[in-house]
Structure 1
């Protein structure tokens, strides 16, 4: 749509009559011109009302040229100009409410969904339009626009707050509640927004009134859709349960618990579960007593409907109030009488399904799981053979959970072989259920396999069925990111990719002793399917099957607990060979980890492990890829964003357990990744690395772990190729002199990679007078530097003679002193001996250059 500034230009150039008093017209019949101009003006008006501003401008332009002084033309032009000045959201709302223009309503929703800011006066005028119009045909669009406006604009909430106070609250509530689900929930959001109210007292009073009205709606006879009322109750209880729980009486709580009926849609059960959890938390013993009364009352009546309600409530309560649910479940006569009762109700499909849902939920408690084995196992096994898909699915899930303990079949404990066969049978059934009906069985299969997939044989069954694996990954990507289903699916993947922990020798001995004791005196053998080679193979299969893109589609929306699992999965996958890591980067793993850290950035300290795992996964991926390809050759936000997490891997962990050695692998991998980043001279990484970990680098150079010492020395060797790295050594401070001394010592290390990197660093730094001065002032400094020439490795000879040449060519006073020291140390003989070992033309030329610069007359013949 043309902006006001463009319209101003249009007014000045197309309609000079308004500004300059006239327009020279061609000699045509004015009456015919005016007739045509009026027709065009009418057409332009229709076009602007239809939202086609550009077409309207073109049409009115032609009309003005034909009849600039015609009043109809001027009026049409004025309308177009006013229309252009009006805010697009207000314009859309006006067309939707006054003309019932569906497209305009959709435009309004689109504008509000885009999160574009809405001025306060525009928001309130749009609210007035949406509220005052009597019910219109397209109520879903009206509800969508109204709910989004309430979510985005405090001014819109303030207008609704006034409406709730000016009218009787009941009348205003009823009017808005009937608009739709979004508007009904919007009322709760309004009373929970202090900024929308003139006083806290008014808001507090209205909040309680609105809560009572939601509860009245829930109790209202004939209201088939409880989800609308439940969402409002849940929203208020979750936020203000301490204030509102006293308003919940027995009848209301019964109605909330009845919404937990497994037959209800998730839109009703989910807010009912949240409401129950918050009410029990806030009400204490009173709520526990009300819950117990509800379950016992319905179970005692033993009608089909009452049993479904009792079992459904128990199933929903186990995850949120396990102790209370377990105490009722383990009541002396409950489980012994359950199977006989279910057999009497065998014709009732809903009773059996509700009971299975309850048994599945009860498996979260060890005592309940053992009691189920004792009293219900055979009934569950029979249910798993049912021709009814839903029943057999849930029964299979219960068996999968129960089978995690010492299962008894027909009253006898199976031997190990039978136990494996029994487990395999359950797994095959669950896998087939996913193939038969992926969408409907996804949640149950994921939950059941999450319990079974920790077994090594099950891991292999899942990973080796490539067709099933592809289906599983597809369904994982389609699962609701905030549902419990996603947690089950991610748990399966984590079981497949998790490596055994690295243990110290002492920890290994303790583990062996425990395993020996648990095996009643028999030595324990590690399962080869849990060893690194088997896990690495599974990881590679999952990467080839494109697990990473599926995870990449989920991580933005999942809860923090699930995000932590995704990060652990990627960390394990990144332990694979470098070629597979490159594939992971191409599939989006690196970007996902960076964004995950941003998401965790605002979280509290409890996410420290997830952040560290993400940082280590980033390190593993960056070890294997060319950073200039991943980030580009120039400095950008992405390369800067990965350096802080990599640097964090270098820090000491003060919270380490006393009985476990420090795991230096994250530090080592962090150093390798930083070294790789610093290899690109133009990406700006060096400056950031030096700024963030200068002190830590010095500490790690003195590490008694040879691999850490080598890695940090190689990092510094790359850093000194840039001015920021050179400044660490060449700033003339005691700290810089200390670093020079450390590198002189490291150049004599027993580790070839360490001394090679140290010598390479010195070869670069000896170009600078400040570094030469630091070598001069160190006791035996020049002696240590020249000792590099005594090394038999050609790479060391090259670095050593390069350092000598640098000093020879420097014209500073410090270099003059250095050359004198070299002569005192018989540099002529050292060069002669080293030169004999040189087998490279480049190195040989450097020796001759040094001899010439030092004025040594001895020249060895080639």
Structure 2
């Protein structure tokens, strides 16, 4: 039977009836034919992408779609990455090429290299444009393969003569710089660009059109330099802006040689400093051009790695306002959004805290790497400067914009948003305003939305949440009609009670701040207290025994609040070995060296001793009564109040437990201790409860 002819205008339903290789041939033919609307081209590219993705999954090499993609077909596909194509077409073509590289493996990589070098070898402007555009587009998709192409011997040096030609194609220059811009994300490529391209990149950035006109006229008087002539401005504004972005990346990230030597590797100082570039980006930002904004944001995202630029940007109120507006108007998940967020993250980032041992190790490594020349830390990176910058960023109105972007952002953008809020939350007097502007809802939602693979970002969100909740009234934070339920904050806070398992050293600050925030929440209602116990009790118990006095104290304060609920009391009042052990720990903490810890433990005992089982447990415990009476003998009147209240509860207890308590307290000189407590106390409520305890002790059993 004769084969059915394949028609280029076949619809999707008819197309799917054909074998996959025939489908691919038809789609490729439609792409070669051209002349379609952009929407139709995108649709064809999407269909081809699906075939290639399915081919990767099935791995059926006998009927592989890649078998029908020869050099001509590949040439056609890659042609849709050309900068002269519509942005929508280029976007869909990137997905198609990505799917092709996955499906074709080594053969596809080899074909890609051959395509690139063939185009560059031809040397026409059109070939350069296509080759450079393809390299720029596939760098993020296949960085290792593209870097190998980019670093091929002789390629980068050849760009010097291309960019310094007397008569130029601006599209070639733009495509070339887009490629360099993408390549500069790779450390090896960045070093090669620094070596071979820095001089002419600086020439492009520093070009003065008026001086250029005079130079051209002096060299060739017959050349007419008129307005709009290609000779009047050898490099377009877009080209200059792109070159500035690349230079910013080179200046912001020091070379391996600079890092090792502690100084620049070039004899002459850089013509264009990072500060000069940042001023250029600032001017570009206010331009109406979308490309100008994109390049300025990308450049500042790298320039603000440097402390001097951070300070300049943070103290430029107009620039900060413009950056906030750019972020507000930027589409979700766009490079512009990511770039603007990166700027704010750089400005607000604190230096990581280090233990004394870590500081010494860091100094030794830096000294070794610098060959004996250890530069002092930059004072612009200290906490005071960062705090001041955070305040200025907050005053620029960044938080509501971050809240909006967090609802639709990518995982990468969400992680940066969390980092910015985390930095702002360090300043205690900003925390209330952060809560008012939606930061609490943002952090809870981000913690929930982030996958478990982003555990560091989840921990950062939880710690920022803890800081805000330490300093704010939960009733105000969670009381609004659009607020999340209060209990939704408990799981994020509980997650940072244990130390970070992936950290080299144990940082107890997140644990401490989570305990403080949970204590604040536990002061509200029984439902919240019960939820905290269910979600975090084992970790809270573990922190009671922390070797760090502040962490232990925070844990006891939380337990004291939890004892206001039935679930909390049950943990200590039950007749079980576990309950007896918990009571033993609480009594030990009531005798701790730290006064705050003794106070919190005394408060917990005051709540618990209203129950017969707890009273009996204290009497049975060695030194139990002695510890309680010790609270009554404290110099601090608050502690004496707690101790007297505990004793009053114990001696007022009915039944056998009460009798045992009264006998044991008398044996331990309780009468004299209580009399002295009453004499030393000035507050009526302390005197009253002490006298009440004395009366119960003086009565005959």
TM-score band, normalised by shorter chain: 0.7 to 0.9
Aligned: 1:662 with 2:501: no
Aligned match of 1:9 = none
CA distance in 2: counterparts of 1:455 and 1:610, whole angstroms: 24
- Normalised by the size of structure 1, how large is the TM-score? 0.72
CA distance in 2: counterparts of 1:689 and 1:358, whole angstroms: 54
**Does the aligned pair in 1 maintain the 2:425–2:431 contact within 8 Å?**
yes
Which of 628, 635, 652 matches 2:475?
A: 628
Following superposition, the deviation at residue 366 of structure 1 comes to: 3.0
The runs of 5 or more residues in structure 2 that have no matched partner are 59-64, 208-232, 258-263
1:345-376 CA-partner distances (Å, limit 9, x unpaired): 73312111111112212212333323323332
Following superposition, the deviation at residue 208 of structure 1 comes to: 5.1
Aligned match of 1:352 = 173
Equivalences for 1:130-529 in 2 at 5 Å? 174=9, 209-223=22-36, 225=38, 226-238=41-53, 240-243=55-58, 244-344=65-165, 346-385=167-206, 388-403=236-251, 404-406=253-255, 422-437=273-288, 439-529=290-380
Equivalences for 1:736-747 in 2 at 5 Å? 736-747=579-590
| Residue aligned with 1:663, SS | coil
CA distance in 1: counterparts of 2:496 and 2:606, whole angstroms: 29
Aligned match of 2:521 = 677
CA distance in 2: counterparts of 1:509 and 1:666, whole angstroms: 23
Following superposition, the deviation at residue 485 of structure 1 comes to: 2.9
CA distance in 2: counterparts of 1:391 and 1:726, whole angstroms: 71
Following superposition, the deviation at residue 302 of structure 1 comes to: 1.9
Judged with a 3 Å threshold, the aligned counterparts in structure 2 of structure 1 residues 170 and 628 are, in CA distance, closer, same or farther, namely farther
**Does the aligned pair in 2 maintain the 1:581–1:621 contact within 8 Å?**
yes
Which of 619, 628, 636 matches 1:785?
A: 628
Query: How large is the Cα RMSD of the aligned pairs?
Result: 2.7
Equivalences for 1:72-83 in 2 at 5 Å? none
Higher mean C-alpha displacement, 245-254 vs 494-503:
245-254
Equivalences for 1:17-166 in 2 at 5 Å? none
Aligned match of 2:495 = 648
Judged with a 3 Å threshold, the aligned counterparts in structure 2 of structure 1 residues 478 and 236 are, in CA distance, closer, same or farther, namely farther
Following superposition, the deviation at residue 653 of structure 1 comes to: 4.1
Judged with a 3 Å threshold, the aligned counterparts in structure 2 of structure 1 residues 557 and 214 are, in CA distance, closer, same or farther, namely farther
Aligned: 1:547 with 2:398: yes
**Does the aligned pair in 1 maintain the 2:478–2:484 contact within 8 Å?**
no
CA distance in 2: counterparts of 1:850 and 1:655, whole angstroms: 52
- Normalised by the size of structure 2, how large is the TM-score? 0.88
Higher RCO structure, 1 or 2 (CA under 8 Å, sep 6+) = 2
Aligned match of 2:424 = 573
Equivalences for 1:461-860 in 2 at 5 Å? 461-577=312-428, 579-600=429-450, 603=451, 605-632=452-479, 638-657=485-504, 661-681=505-525, 684-855=527-698
Judged with a 3 Å threshold, the aligned counterparts in structure 2 of structure 1 residues 343 and 420 are, in CA distance, closer, same or farther, namely closer
CA distance in 1: counterparts of 2:320 and 2:567, whole angstroms: 50
1:459-503 CA-partner distances (Å, limit 9, x unpaired): 111111111111112112222222233322222222112211121
Following superposition, the deviation at residue 210 of structure 1 comes to: 4.2
**Does the aligned pair in 1 maintain the 2:431–2:471 contact within 8 Å?**
yes
CA distance in 2: counterparts of 1:169 and 1:730, whole angstroms: 86
Following superposition, the deviation at residue 843 of structure 1 comes to: 1.0
Judged with a 3 Å threshold, the aligned counterparts in structure 2 of structure 1 residues 531 and 264 are, in CA distance, closer, same or farther, namely same
CA distance in 2: counterparts of 1:554 and 1:211, whole angstroms: 39
Q: What is the total number of aligned residue pairs between the two structures? A: 655
CA distance in 1: counterparts of 2:96 and 2:551, whole angstroms: 53
**Does the aligned pair in 1 maintain the 2:499–2:511 contact within 8 Å?**
no
Judged with a 3 Å threshold, the aligned counterparts in structure 2 of structure 1 residues 415 and 806 are, in CA distance, closer, same or farther, namely farther
| Residue aligned with 1:554, SS | helix
Aligned match of 1:24 = none
| Residue aligned with 1:436, SS | coil
**Does the aligned pair in 1 maintain the 2:444–2:492 contact within 8 Å?**
no
**Does the aligned pair in 2 maintain the 1:318–1:364 contact within 8 Å?**
no
Judged with a 3 Å threshold, the aligned counterparts in structure 2 of structure 1 residues 478 and 246 are, in CA distance, closer, same or farther, namely farther
Following superposition, the deviation at residue 206 of structure 1 comes to: 5.9
